[in-house]
Every structure is written in structure tokens, then in C-alpha cells.
Amino acid sequence: MEKPMIYKVISKPEFKSFIDTLVKSNTAYGPKAVDTDRLGNPVYQFMHVQGADEIAFDYTVTHSSAKHLLLPFRDELSHYSFRDGDWDQEVRYDAPPIVLIGLRPCDINAINILDDVMLHGPYPSPYYLARRKNTFIIGMDHLPLADCFCKSMNRHTVNHGFNLFCSDIGDRYYLAINSANAFSFLKEFRIEDPSYEDNCNLIERRKSIKNSFATTVEVTGLPVFLDIEFDSPIWQKWGDKCLSCGSCAMVCPTCYCYSVEERFDIDLKGSTRQNHLYSCNLVDFAQVAGGHNFRPRNGDRLKYRYYHHYRGFAANDNQQICVGCNRCGRACLADINPKDVINDLRLERESCMTCVLPSPDKT
């Protein structure tokens, strides 16, 4: 459901002072240059920031997504306090408000997908709801990197799921304001109604983003295709490369599979039930009590991750959950990336088709 949006423009210095005020008045996270890789490129991550100066507004991409701010890597689900053979259970949904600055459209789309999974399924998650309700999101557009393929997934634009979205139109930002809070904050700063020129610049900007995608992954019909190719040897081929290290799932903005663990407190006076983010690539993901592993091979587990991302699960309306940010592809040490795997599957399929179909010019 789309809510009406207010459009304004703001100069870049004024925007920076707005962000600075917001950051100083709240707990805020934004893209920060944390390191330099061996080629001399800065490495960005979403980190806690205390002033606008720390934020790299013109960052390329963060190595890890901002997912962990909504779905922490480890999260306490409940705590038991024991007393002589009996116990009390405490469940808390604590989430102090946070501001997330600089999310890309694909990242916001990823959060929208998580909303669908966590809140719109049969059993809404209050832990997620508490965090989501208390998260203020400021999105920013960017020119795609060479390996971004969010356009193929149709996740390169976003029209909901944020409080404020900023498009870079030269010396100013074109703001899409999507919440009363955001508007009342911005009222304190110099914002203007967009001029005709601003509107033209915005359209130009959108066009140039749309035309800058260098990577295309053909995903039409992929769900059916994955069903058909379930037993394809391709999976073992890529599985043989897979290190089963779970890096892809950790950096992914939508991977949400988890594991629940319970531990006694060290003083034995209570225990804590925790969930921690897991990956379907990890060796014991499908292991059951007694030790049987339903997916003992790397290929089976890798396939499963692709199945989840590009076919979707029945309970979530078969929605594809990949947004095309290619963080998994960049993080993978074994050089496995969605583009190559999907193309490989298609190639395999096509070569099968040519074998099966009689060629027309053989008369």
C-alpha cells in the first residue's frame, strides 16, 4: 500500500547539517570507510556514526548489508530464571530507536522482503516488529557498480519502506519524504519545492542509473526452471567449489535462516534462549536429532540457497528474495556468484533442449 509522498529539494551542505543533527540526536548507523583493500579501494561498512563527517555519502557499496541491525547475528529470545524446581520466563522485545542512513534501493527492498517474511507470514515476529517500528530509514540512490544486477531482479527502484529517500541531482538532493517524522524534522531546515529543472534533473538521474547496469542476469521463468533443474549435475559442480563457509549468507541483505540455541547462565540461576543467524550452506544446517543430515553434500546445500533466493518458498508466496546486490558474489572466496551459476544452469538447460528437439533443417 503506497502512502502519499511529499517531494522537496535540499542543498548538499544543508542536507549534511540535517543529517548531522539527526545523527547527534539519535543512535545512527551509516556507511563508513573502515579500511582500504590491497588495490587501494576504500572498504565501507554500515557502522555506528556520531557525526555527519564520519559518513561517506558517496560510498560505493558496503561489504556487509545492514540486515544485522534488524536481525542481529545473535538475539536473545527469552530468559528463564530458576527457583527451586520452578522457573519464570521473560520475553522482551527491546529495540531502542535507530536511524539508518544511506541505504541503497536494493537494501530497502531487502528490508521490505524481510517485512514480508517476518511480519506478513502466518506468525509475525514481535522481535523483528519492535526493531522495524523503531528504525528510521534514509535511502540514497547510486550509480550501479559493474557487478550489480538489481535491475534484473527489478529491485533497483523503491517506492516504500523508507522514511526519506534522497536522489543525487548534482548540487542538491531530491527528497522523497515518506513519514510525518521525517517531514517535521526537515521543516527546521531550508528545503524547497522542486523546480521544473529539479524534476528534469531527477528524471535524467533515474535514466542514467537505469542505463548504467552492466550486468544482467536472466531471471524470467527461473522458478520453474529451478524446479526442473533440481537434480542437475550443475549443483555438484558448483558445490565442489563451495567452501561451506557461510560468508554469502552473513553479508546477504535477505538471508534470514537461523538456529535456536539454549544455554545455562554461568551461575546456573537461569538460562537464555538465543537465535543466531545461520546459513543453509553450513554443514549441519539440515541435521536432525540423532545425527542424520538431510543435506550432507555441499552441492545440495548450495542448491538450497539458490532455491530459496530465486524460486522462493511457498509460505512466502514463492517470492524471489534476492535483490541483486551481489554482496554474496563479492564475498565468496571460491568465486561463486549468482550470475555465473544461473547462466550455467541456463546453458545446461539449453544444451539439453537442443539434444531433445529435432532440428528443423535436417530434411
Partner 1 sequence: MKHLGFNIGKVKIGSFDFTCCEGCQLQLANRESTLPDFLALIDVRNFREISSERFDDYDIALVEGSVTRSDEIERLKKIRAQAKVLVAFGSCACFGGVNSLKNGIPQEEAVREVYDGKTIETMPSTRIADIVSVDYCIPGCPVSKEEVERILVGMVTRSLVSLPKYPVCVECKQRLNICLFDLGQLCLGPVTRAGCDAVCPTGRTACLGCRGPAEDINFPSFEQLVRDKKLSSSEMREMLGFYNGFADYLEHEKS
Partner 2 sequence: MHDMRFTIPGQDLNREPFAFKAPDFQKKCEVMITDRGYKCRITNIVPLSDNERLFLLRIVDPVEREMFNFRPGQFLMLEVPGYGEAPISISSSTSNHEFIELCIRRAGHVTSALFETRQGAMVSIRGPFGTSFPMELMEGKNVLMVVGGLGIAPMRAPLFWIGNHRDRYLDVRLLFGAKDPSQLLFDYQFEGWQRVSNVKMHTIVEHADESWKGRKGLITALFDEFTFDAKETYAIVCGPPVMFKFVCHHLDLMGIPMNRMFVSLERRMHCGMGKCCRCMVGSTFTCLDGPVFDYWSVLNLKEAI
CA torsion sign, 291 to 289 to 238 to 337?
negative
H/E stretch holding 152:
none
Question: What sign for the dihedral angle of Cα 10, 13, 15, 17?
Answer: negative
Q: Which does 145 bind (CB under 5 to 8 A by kind): partner 2, partner 1, none?
A: none
Q: Is 6 in the site for partner 1 (CB under 8 A)?
A: no
Give the distance, in angstroms, between the CA of residue 190 and the centroid of all CA atoms in the same chain: 33
Site track for partner 1 across 12-51, x = CB under 8 A = ----------------------xx-xx----x-x-x----
Under the binding rule (CB under 8 A), the answer on residue 337 touching partner 1 is: no
245 touches partner 1 by CB under 8 A: yes
73 binds partner 2 (CB under 8 A): no
Taking the C-alpha atoms of residue 225 and residue 78, their distance in angstroms, rounded to an integer, is 41
C-alpha pair distances (Å), 76 with each of 28, 71, 88, 259: 22, 11, 16, 12
- Residue 314 binds which of partner 1, partner 2, none (CB < 5-8 A, kind-dependent): partner 2
24/51 Cα distance (integer angstroms): 6
Helix count (H) and strand count (E) of the chain?
11, 11
- Smallest distance, partner 1 to C-beta of residue 142, A: 20
CA distance 225 to 63: 30
Residue 96 binding result from partner 2, partner 1, none, given CB thresholds of 5 to 8 Å by partner type: partner 2
The residue from 91, 263, 317, 318 that contacts partner 1 (CB under 8 A) is 263
With CB under 8 A as the contact rule, the residue among 13, 24, 58, 73 that binds partner 1 is: 73
Least distance (Å) from partner 1 to the CB of residue 88? 13
Nearer to partner 2, 204 or 264 (CB): 264
Q: Does 258 bind partner 2 (CB under 8 A)?
A: yes
Amino acid at 39: L
Contact mark string toward partner 2, 179..218, x via CB under 8 A: --x---x--x------------------------------
Distance separating alpha carbons of residues 44 and 21, to the nearest angstrom: 22
Q: Smallest distance, Å, CB 195 to partner 1? A: 41
Residues between 5 and 64 that touch partner 2 (CB under 8 A): 21-22, 24-26
- d(C-alpha 236, C-alpha 69), whole Å: 34
Q: Which of residues 274-303 bind partner 1 (CB under 8 A)?
A: 277, 279, 282-284, 296, 298
Question: Coil, strand, or helix at residue 24?
Answer: helix
